[in-house]
Amino acid sequence: MERRLRIDGHTLLAGVTGWPVAHSRSPLMHNFWLEQRGINGAYVPLPVVPGSFDVAVRGLQAAGFRGVNVTIPHKESAYRIVEEHGRLDRSAQRSGSVNTLVFAPDGQIEGYSTDGDGFVANVEAHGIPVKSGRALLLGAGGAARAIAASLLDRGVDVAVANRTRARADALAAQLSGIAVIDWAQAGDVLPSCQFLVNTTSIGMDGGADATFPLDLGRADAGLVVCDIVYVPRQTALLRQAASHGLRTVDGLGMLIHQAGLGFEKWFGAAPEIGPAVEALLDADLHCAHAG
């Protein structure tokens, strides 16, 4: 679908801020949805150098933007500015992070974390209910905390393994109910797990060359293996899981679902999350990879 963008005094504006931000697929996705829904809006990349985030956010708010997505390296700054001057949604409080800012009509800045709920929505879109059982999370960064919080809130027991044990311990201290597993022993808990979730960059194109301490042959036959990496869509972990007959969920759907939550808050309509936008992003990723 060709985007015939129109800008006038009634155009609703949102964007994504980070440094760098040129690689983001969010403008492609959101502008596709705007065209689909017939909304007079535009979503733009907003590169903001480190140290200028607060000024940029206040400027965007004053200029009439509806809100922004926040990516590296500004997520901590986003949490702080909302904590000090706005309203933190429970999702942000639970995850300890903010990736979506909404500039409310009353002048307040609202902060949300959509990663965890986006992850769960993606898994459930594959016909897999997320309401009980046990999950093993690999990694202890911001995405891991957001996903862990959403899983805990849905009655899933969560264990975390990270290459640096101290980071996993810190995550468990922030979110009660998490068990910490040594990285080298992560495979020992697989037989009791219903979900395995990779939140690290292992397997990402251009990422660090590393392996998981896992033998998926030991897993329960009902294990669902999820990877939040989406470049490539079929990571080595997912290919290994498929070779053992396990169900797999790749990371592209999480990107789409977490974005849809922000779109609805800014533009007042739910986007169509389905094969059309997935095909658009998949084709774009393939083109970039081929280039």
Residues 1-27: pLDDT tens digits?
445 567 899 999 999 999 999 989 999
Percent of the chain at pLDDT > 70 equals 96
Average of per-residue pLDDT across 138-143: 92
pLDDT value of residue 208: 56
Domains of the chain: 12-113+254-290 (3.40.50.10860), 116-250 (3.40.50.720)
The span from the CA of 191 to the CA of 139, in Å, is 19
pLDDT value of residue 10: 93
The answer to whether 199 is a known ligand-binding residue is no
The answer to whether 139 is a known ligand-binding residue is yes
Q: In what order do the strands lie in the sheet with 224-227?
A: 178-182, 157-162, 134-138, 195-198, 224-227, 247-249
Indicate whether this model's pTM tops 0.85.
Answer: yes
The answer to whether 37 is a known ligand-binding residue is no
Choose, from 75, 94, 145, 257, the residue flagged as catalytic: 75
The answer to whether 71 is a known ligand-binding residue is yes
DSSP string, 136-180: EEE--SHHHHHHHHHHHHTT-EEEEEESSHHHHHHHHHHSTTEEE
The answer to whether 163 is a known ligand-binding residue is yes
The answer to whether 143 is a known ligand-binding residue is yes
Mutual orientation of helices 165-174 and 142-153 as an angle, nearest 10°?
Answer: 40
The answer to whether 6 is a known ligand-binding residue is no
The answer to whether 167 is a known ligand-binding residue is yes
The span from the CA of 221 to the CA of 215, in Å, is 13
Average of per-residue pLDDT across 166-192: 95
Instruction: Give yes or no: 75 in active site.
Output: yes
pLDDT value of residue 149: 96
Q: What is the mean pLDDT of the chain?
A: 93
pLDDT value of residue 72: 86
pLDDT value of residue 186: 95
Structure tokens at 257: 């679902």
The span from the CA of 145 to the CA of 28, in Å, is 27
The span from the CA of 127 to the CA of 113, in Å, is 24
β-strand pairing of 109-112 with 100-103 = antiparallel
Is the confidence at residue 279, as pLDDT, over 50?
yes
